[in-house]
Amino acid sequence: MSLLELRKLNKHFGGLHVTNAVDLTLEAGEIHCLIGPNGAGKSTLFRLILGEHHPGSGDILFAGENITRMKSFARIHRGLSVKFQVPGVFKGLSVRQNLEIALQSRHGGVELEMEIDRLLAFLGLESEQAQTAGNLSHGQKQWLEIGMAISLKPRLLLLDEPTAGMSPEETHLTGEMVQRLNADGMTVLAIEHDMAFVRQVAHRVTVLHLGQVFAQGSIDQIVADERVAAIYLGQAHA
Amino acid sequence: MTGFMSLFRRLEGPQTVGRGPAFWSLFALVLAVALAYPQFSDGYTVGNTVYFFVWVFIALSLCLIWGYGGSLSFGQTAFFGIAGYGYGILTINFGSAYGFTLIALVAAVAIAALFAVLLGYFMFFGRIAGVFLGIVTLAVTLMLERFMAQTAGPEWRIGSARLNGFNGMSAMPPLTIPWPGEPIVLFADVGLYYLVLGLLVFVYLGLRILMNSSFGNVIVAIRENPERAEMLGYDVRKYQLITFVIGAALAGLSGVLYTAWGQYITPSSMGMTAAALPLIWVAVGGRSDLTSTVVGTLVVLAGFQALTIYGSQYALVFMGVLLVLTVLIAPNGLVLGVMNWLGRLTARFTRKAP
C-alpha cells in the first residue's frame, strides 16, 4: 500500500510556480530520496506535505486519508514527523528538556525519564544532556533534532538535508541510523545533496527540477541518466 | 495521593529558579516574616504593602505570557481595568451583603478572562505573533481607556453604577467576608493584607507547578521555536490562548484587588503609563522566572514610591533609565542575574566542601 500520495500538487508564489503538478507516491517501508538543484522546490514540497504551506490545487493522501486541508499538528498525530533543514531545536533549553518536550505526550513519570535516557544514549548525547541546546555543535544539533523527530515513532519521517554540515564519518553513521529506523518499519523521505548518503540508503530516488518531477528510479538509473547529469549531478560532480 | 506528591515535585524544575532545602528554607523564612510583619507595623504601612502586593499578580501575568510564552502583551492593563470596573459595577449594584463582594471578585476576574478568550482567539488563531501582538494588545488597552474617559455623562451608567469618565468610579464596598454576628470588612490594612498574601503564595506556588508541568514545557517550547513545537504535534494556538487567558485572569485579579483596596478605579489605570510600568518591573526583575518577577516587582515598586515621595517628577524618567540599563547590562533581568550568580556561588562553595 502506498503510504503517501501526492496528486497533481501545485503551489505558486505570485507568478512563480514552485511546485508544478507534482505526482509522487511513497510505498510503505521504503527509503526515498529527493534530489535536485537549489530552487527545485524540494523544501516547498516538504512544507506542503507538513501543512505549513497549502497547495493551490492537488491532493495529499496519507495512508489513504486526504490530509490536504489538515492542520500541521493533526498531520503529526496521523504519523508524520520532520527534521528541518536548519536545525529546529529549542535553543534556550537543555538537551534533556528538548527530548522531554518531544517525548512527554507519549510517556510519563519514570517511564519518561527512562525513554529520555535511552534516546540520549542512542544519539550519543549523554554527556551533553545538561547543555543548552544552542551551545551544541551543528552536527549535534542535527542529531538532537533527528532524535526529537523519531521520538514520535512516526510512520513517515521527513528529513530535510539530515547530513548537512556533517563529516563523512558522521554522514555514514546517520545513514546507518536511517537504515536501522527503516528496518523497524519507518518509511523515510529525505532531501539530500550528499550523493554518498543517497547511494548508501535510497531504495528509490526522485529528481525534482523547476518544481516538477524530472526523473525517478534507482540510484544507478538516476546517475546513468544524462538529462539528470546535465541539470544537476553533472555540476555537482564537476 | 501519588498525584498529590507528583504535584508537589513540580514545585521545582528547569523552568523555575530555586530548588533544594536552602531555597525552601529561605522561602519559609520570608513567608514567616511576611506573616509576622503586620504585628510590628501600623495600619497605614501595612495597607501600603498590600498596594505593592496587588501589583505582583499583573506582573506574574506578564511573566507568564511574555517571559515564558514569548508573546509581549500590552493588554494586561486592559484586563486589569475590565476586572476593576467589573468589580465596581457589580458591588455598587448588589452591595456587599451575603459575601457578594467575593462573588463579584470571581465574576469580575471571569469577565476579564472571557474577554481574553475572545481577543486571544482572534489573535492566536489568526496567527498574529511577535511585535504585532504587542501592537494589537496596546491598541485594545488604549481604546478602552479612551472609551472609559468619555463616560462622564449621567447617561453612562450600568444600573446604579455611574462610570464617571476621567473622574473614575468610586465608593464601591471593600471585600467583605460574611461572618456570624458581624461580617468582616477587609479595609486596606491588616485584614486585606492576609487575604492578598494568601492569594499571592497560592498563585506563586500554583504557577511554579504549572510551569514545571508538561504544559509549561510546551509553553517555553513555543517561545523557543513555535514551528518545531507544532511539528511535535502540539496545537500551538491552543496553548497560547490558554496561557493568555490565565494571564488575563491574573491581571484581572490585580484589578479587582486594586479597586477593592482603594475603593476607586479610573480610566488612567488602562493608559499608556499604566501599560508600560508592569513591563519595566518584569523586565528589570527577570521575565523568564517567577521568583525574579515577584522580587523585582516589589523592589522596583518600593523604589518608585520612594522616588515619587522624594524626587517627584523624575520618578518616571528614572523608570525609563532603569529599563534601558537592564536591556543593556542584564537583558534577562537584574534580579535573575543576581540569583543565578548566587546559585553559581553556592554550587562552587558546596563543591569545594568535602
User: Tens digits of per-residue pLDDT, B246-267?
Assistant: 999 999 999 999 999 999 999 9
| A81 chain-B contacts, CB cut-off 8 A | 231
The predicted pLDDT at position B352 comes to 60
For residue B168, the model assigns a pLDDT of: 92
Inter-chain CB proximity B227 and A100 less than 8 Å: no
Best mutation target, B125, B215, B224, B231, to test chain A (most A CBs within 10 A):
B231
Is residue A150 within 8 A of residue A186, CB to CB? The reply is yes
Among B217, B231, B235, beta carbon nearest to A100: B217
Instruction: Verify whether the Cβ–Cβ distance B231 to A101 is below 8 Å.
Output: no
The fraction of chain B above a pLDDT of 90, given in percent, is 74
A220 CA: distance to closest CA in chain B (Å): 34
ipTM of predicted complex:
0.92
Helix (H) or strand (E) holding B80: helix B76-94
Tell whether the model's pLDDT for residue B146 goes beyond 90. yes
User: Which residues, 6 or more positions from B57, have their beta carbon under 8 angstroms from its beta carbon?
Assistant: B199, B200, B203, B250, B251, B253, B254, B257
pLDDT band at B143 (very low <50, low <70, confident <90, very high): very high
Task: Inform me whether the pLDDT recorded for B340 exceeds 90.
Answer: no
Q: Is the pLDDT of residue B348 over 90?
A: no
> How many Cβ contacts (< 8 angstroms) between chains A and B?
65
How much is the pLDDT for B1?
55
Q: Is the distance from CB of B222 to CB of B129 less than 8 angstroms?
A: no
Q: What is the 3-state secondary structure (H, E, C) of chain A?
A: CEEEEEEEEEEEECCEEEEEEEEEEEECCCEEEEECCCCCCHHHHHHHHHCCCCCCEEEEEECCEECCCCCHHHHHHHCEEEECCCCCCCCCCEHHHHHHHHHCCCCCHHHHHHHHHHHHHHHCCHHHCCCEHHHCCHHHHHHHHHHHHHCCCCCEEEEECCCCCCCHHHHHHHHHHHHHHHHCCCEEEEECCCHHHHHHHCCEEEEEECCEEEEEECHHHHHHCHHHHHHHHHHHHC
Q: Which domains does chain B have, with CATH numbers?
A: 2-270 (1.10.3470)
The pLDDT-based confidence of A164 (bands split at 50, 70, 90) is confident
pLDDT tens digits, one per residue of A65-119: 999 999 999 999 999 999 998 878 999 999 999 999 999 999 988 999 999 999 9
Q: A205: phi > 0 → left, psi -120 to 50 → alpha, else beta; which?
A: beta
Taking the C-alpha atoms of residue B244 and residue A160, their distance in angstroms, rounded to an integer, is 33
B83 compared with B187, residue with greater pLDDT = B83
pLDDT digits (tens, 9 = 90+) for B16-49: 998 889 899 999 999 999 999 999 999 999 999 9
**Rg of the Cα atoms in chain A:** 18
Q: Which of B214, B221, B235 sits opposite A90 (nearest CB)?
A: B221
Q: Average the pLDDT over A183-206 and give the result.
A: 94
Q: Note the pLDDT of residue A161.
A: 92
| Binary contact (A88, B227; C-beta < 8 A) | yes
Amino acid at A111: E
**Distance from the A128 Cα atom to the nearest Cα atom in chain B, whole angstroms:** 16
Contact map slice: B 213-232 vs A, CB within 8 A: 214, 217-218, 220-221, 223-225, 227-232
Of A32-46, A127-141, B340-354, the least confident: B340-354
> With an 8 Å Cβ cutoff, are B217 and A52 in contact?
no
Residues of B with Cβ-Cβ distance to A88 under 8 angstroms: 225, 227-228, 231
Of A71, A88, A101, the CB nearest to B217: A101
Torsion over CA: B235, B236, B239, B242 (sign): negative
Nearest-angstrom CA–CA distance, B112 and B101? 16
Q: What does the alpha-carbon distance between residue B256 and residue B262 come to, in Å, rounded to a whole number? A: 10
Domains observed in chain A? 2-89+136-237 (3.40.50.300), 90-135 (no CATH)
> Which pLDDT score, from 0 to 100, does residue A238 have?
38
Distance of CA A115 to the CA centre of its chain: 23
End-to-end CA gap in chain B: 38
The terminus-to-terminus CA distance of chain A in angstroms comes to 39
Averaged pLDDT for residues A32-49: 92
Give me the pLDDT at residue B25, please: 95
